[in-house]
Structure 1
Amino acid sequence: MRFFKLPILVSVLFFGMVCAQETSKPLPEETAIYTSTNIPNFPDGGINRFRQLVVSKIKYNRIDPFQHLPAEQARELRYLVLERRPVPKTILESSLNFIVEVDGTLSEISAKGENSSFNKEIERVVKSVKTRWIFEEGEGKKMRTPMRMPIKMIIEG
């Protein structure tokens, strides 16, 4: 009988530990991200005005247009540029992701694409924009809103 009590006691203690784990708590409402029909607008022209502002602030000398290419091909194209010879057009693409906070500021700004110098420049420009986004009034509660904007730049030489 003594040998039966010990395994039963051990199994009760083991299952008590396994089943007594904490459940995860939901995020506080102010930090949760929702999708909503109440999409924020950029003042004086909406998303197109924001896109124009980003493009106007890009410093093109900070971007290496051949960085995403294989080393040999990039070297040949840089040589053509130095010799002032025609260079085939280069297309740089990036996906800009950010969150519009309840107060209209931007957070979690990230750009993803093949060319890291282009991505860094886009992130720098968006972080420098101080104009706040505006939520439409009367359409419900203001919420943190994720935004995604594809950006494409064609460089012709």
Structure 2
Amino acid sequence: MKSLFLYFFCWIPFFCFSQQAEEFKNVKNYYNQHRVLLNNEFRKKYDGEPNMLNKDAIKRDFVFFMKKMDSIENTALVGALLKVKNLEDLSNIRNKTARLPEPTSDITSSEGQMAEYPGGMNTLRQQVANLFYIEGVHSEMKTAKALVAFIVEKDGTISNVQASGDNFTFNRQAEIALYSVPQKFTPAVFNGESVRYRFKLPLTMTIE
């Protein structure tokens, strides 16, 4: 069994340019709708079956179909990840040619505030763990680690997620999970204005 342990810290803010992506929400909404339909169909079949042995077989089929749905959804999310990264790379290239990058600057308690996730970092930790597709991680080692950097945009959305670690499949699933968190951050504020803010997030998964 695989379990995920997340350790969070934030670094000094770094300002740059990117764009918001809705690809992951769209994919998840699509497959959640299909899960509801499947659940309803299996429930009708289960409730209408008087034989307990047949009921058990229906339950096993339901679990099998749901696992297949998870796998298919993850394939779609990988496609969304590639699309978003390509769009962000193109946007970064355009921004570099169009203007000079904004200067970096520290956010201090007297001048501004850091970006914050609703409910705090423990809530974000739990949501990332819930969104992490463990079956998509392939490793012969007992632990997998990655350092995930991402930007909180001025509107509180997440962009430019980059995971670095030895396990490619773990990196990919970490990036998908961060892009897929359901809520926006409260943006960072510097000199009275919302600014783009960079987080770094270490992730560790133990495989038992």
| Bigger Rg, which one | 1
Q: Distance in 2 between matches of 1:152 and 1:92?
A: 6
Please list every run of 5 or more consecutive structure 1 residues that lacks an aligned counterpart in the other structure. 1-24, 70-89
Q: How does 1:29-48 map to 2 (within 5 A)?
A: 34-37=105-108, 38-44=113-119, 46-48=120-122
CA distance in 2, matches of 1:94, 1:129: 18
Q: How does 1:65-144 map to 2 (within 5 A)?
A: 65-66=139-140, 90-135=142-187, 140-144=192-196
Length, aligned pairs only: 107
Aligned position for 1:54: 128
* Residue identity in the other structure for 1:48: N
SS at 2:151's partner residue? strand
Amino acid at match of 2:135: N
Output one character per residue of 1:65-84: Cα deviation in whole Å (capped at 9) or x when no partner.
Answer: 22xx6xxxxxxxxxxxxxxx
- The TM-score, its normalising length taken from structure 1, stands at 0.60
Q: CA RMSD in A?
A: 2.5
Query: 1:16 maps to which residue?
Result: none
Tell me the TM-score normalised to structure 2 length. 0.46
CA shift for structure 1 position 136: 6.8
Instruction: Pick one of 63, 67, 86 that aligns with 2:137.
Output: 63
Moved over 6 A (4+): 136-139
2:115 is aligned with what amino acid?
A: P
Q: CA deviation at 1:116?
A: 0.3
Q: Indicate how the Cα distance of structure 1 residues 136 and 110 shifts in structure 2: closer, same or farther if over 3 A, else same.
A: closer
Contact 1:33 1:143 in 2 (8 A): no
CA contact 1:34–1:145 (8 Å) conserved in 2: no
More helix by share: 2
Per-residue CA deviation, residues 94-129 of structure 1 (Å, 9 max, x unaligned), is 001000011000111011100000000011111112
Q: Give the 3 Å change call, closer, same or farther, for CA 136–101 of structure 1 in structure 2.
A: closer
Task: Indicate the percent of aligned positions where both proteins have the same amino acid.
Answer: 28
